[in-house]
Amino acid sequence: MASEINGLKIGGKLSGWRVYKIRGVEKTIVARKGGPSADQIKLSPKYEKVRKYQQEFGAASALSKKVRQSLPPALLSHCESYVSGKLTARFRLLAENGEGETGKRPISFSKNGHLLEGFEFNSKCPLESVYQPKFLAKTGSIRGQLILHTHSYIPKQELSPPHGAEYYKIFAHLIVLSDYVFNERTNEYEALHPSFHGQYTTLESDLLPIINISRDPSTARISLYDGEAIPAETGLLFIKGIVFYKRENSKIVETTHGNGMKINDVL
Q: Looking at the domain assignment, is residue 122 inside a domain?
A: yes
The whole-angstrom distance between residue 37's C-alpha and the CA centroid of its chain comes to 32
Q: 260 exposed, middle or buried (CB, 10 Å; 0-12, 13-18, 19+)?
A: buried
Number of residues that this document lists for the chain: 267
Taking only the tens place, the pLDDT of each residue in 182-223 is 999 999 999 999 999 999 999 999 999 999 999 999 999 999
Q: 239 exposed, middle or buried (CB, 10 Å; 0-12, 13-18, 19+)?
A: buried
What predicted TM-score, i.e. pTM, was given to this entire model?
Answer: 0.83
Q: Looking at the domain assignment, is residue 34 inside a domain?
A: no
Q: Looking at the domain assignment, is residue 32 inside a domain?
A: no
Nearest of 117, 123, 240 to residue 170 by alpha carbon: 240
Q: Looking at the domain assignment, is residue 44 inside a domain?
A: no
Q: Looking at the domain assignment, is residue 200 inside a domain?
A: yes
Q: Looking at the domain assignment, is residue 11 inside a domain?
A: no
Domain with 231, as residue range(s), is: 52-266
| Local structure of residue 193 (DSSP, 8 states) | S
Neighbours of 140 (CB within 10 A): 13
How many domains, the chain?
1
Return the bridge partners of 82, or none.
none
Q: Looking at the domain assignment, is residue 23 inside a domain?
A: no
Inter-residue contact 26 to 58 (CB < 8 Å): yes
Q: Residue 1: pLDDT band by 50, 70, 90 thresholds?
A: very low
Q: Looking at the domain assignment, is residue 100 inside a domain?
A: yes
